[in-house]
Amino acid sequence: MAVYDRTYRRYQGPVTSQTWRFLVVSHYVLKDVFKSKLLVFFYALCFVYPLVLGVSIYLRNNLDRLGQILPQEALEQFQVDAGTFAGFLYSQGFLAFFLTVVIGPRLISRDLANNGLPLYLSRPISRAQYVLGKLSVIFILLSGITWVPGLMLFALQSALDKGDWMTRHLRVAAGMTLGSWVWILLLAVIALALSAWVKWRPVAAFLMFMIFASGSFFALILNLLFFGGARERAWGYLVDPGRLIVIVWSGLLGTEPPDGPPVALAWIALAAMTAFLLWVLNRKLRAYEVVT
């Protein structure tokens, strides 16, 4: 369009609020993510266990009606308590890891490979909003298979129970929600950091597996060399993010923790890992590249 035509007009439509502008990035990334039918199928499979657990909770709370159909002894052995929701969190957290491996490595790498980051940051959006928009994609998808169905199951049990089960297990609901948020944040920053530094998606996905596998391996070596394999001094697990998150979950839900450092040290180690990964991510995300 020639300048002398004077046909350019400034955009007069609605403008997204500065507070929620990061959701514009999330909107288009989510549309691209769900173009894969295989991913949609896998995401649907992630709801199988919550559905089975919901049916089990219903049967457990209707022993009088179903006692003639199903063995009452088998149903009575199924107790809905902190251990039930801990198992739910372990199962869904494992699926959340695989889902992050699939969608995480490509979130930033394509923008950097195609020099798209300067186009993002030339708009009225900051680097923090750009990262938050990408991170919220993982948060939205993983929330749908972790704490959201978990709270629905908690509400189902609370509605069906005739006693004070809900008031006695409020810690379970809070711990499950907070524990899911911590796990989602850890997975998101690992995926985004790898996506920013490794442009080839299969390599980034492989490295994400290796972070957890190597963490377990080095933790085992450290425990054998420096702590003699003692359960109460197994502080080598401070380098194992998978073991640390399980320890944190146990502290939040009130279940028996596995071998490893105290819960407080596990929180500190996870916070340090997250801060380091955010620093690594910030070092890579720049609108220009200095060539020396």
What CA–CA distances, in Å, run from 189 to 137, 161, 226? 12, 39, 30
SS3 (DSSP) at 270:
helix
Give 165's contacts (C-beta < 8 A, 6+ positions apart).
Answer: 80, 157, 158
Whole-number Å distance between alpha carbons of 3 and 118? 25
The residue type at 76: E
Instruction: Say which DSSP state 257 is in.
Output: P
- Residue 102 has phi, psi (to 5 degrees) of -75, -45
Whole-number Å distance between alpha carbons of 109 and 192? 9
Q: Report yes or no: 243 and 218 within 8 Å, Cβ to Cβ.
A: no
The position carrying tokens 């992050």 is 100
Lookup: tokens for 238 = 């401070």
Q: What is the pLDDT of residue 70?
A: 55
Lookup: tokens for 20 = 């929620």
Helix (H) or strand (E) holding 277: helix 263-284
Q: Break the chain into its structural domains and give their ranges.
A: 21-284
Q: What is the pLDDT of residue 77?
A: 65
Instruction: Say which DSSP state 20 is in.
Output: T
| pTM for this prediction | 0.86
Closest to 88 measured CA to CA, from 43, 120, 56, 112: 56
Whole-number Å distance between alpha carbons of 3 and 31? 36
Give 110's contacts (C-beta < 8 A, 6+ positions apart).
Answer: 116
The position carrying tokens 């009225």 is 124
Whole-number Å distance between alpha carbons of 245 and 192? 19
Whole-number Å distance between alpha carbons of 81 and 103? 33
Q: What is the pLDDT of residue 137?
A: 93
The pLDDT tens digits for 169-182 are: 999 999 999 999 99
Chain centre distance of CA 21: 22
Give 127-188 as a DSSP string.
Answer: HHHHHHHHHHHHHHHHHTTTHHHHHHHHHHHHHH-SSSHHHHTHHHHHHHHHHHHHHHHHHH
Closest to 146 measured CA to CA, from 90, 82, 189: 90
Q: What is the pLDDT along the chain (292 residues), one digit of tens a residue?
A: 555 556 667 767 777 677 777 788 888 888 888 888 889 999 999 999 999 999 888 887 876 555 555 555 655 566 788 999 999 999 999 999 999 999 988 888 877 777 777 777 777 778 888 889 899 999 999 999 999 999 999 999 999 887 788 999 999 999 999 999 999 999 999 999 998 888 788 888 888 989 888 888 888 787 777 765 555 557 778 889 999 999 999 999 999 888 888 899 999 999 999 999 999 888 887 655 444 4
R_g (Cα) of the chain, nearest Å: 23
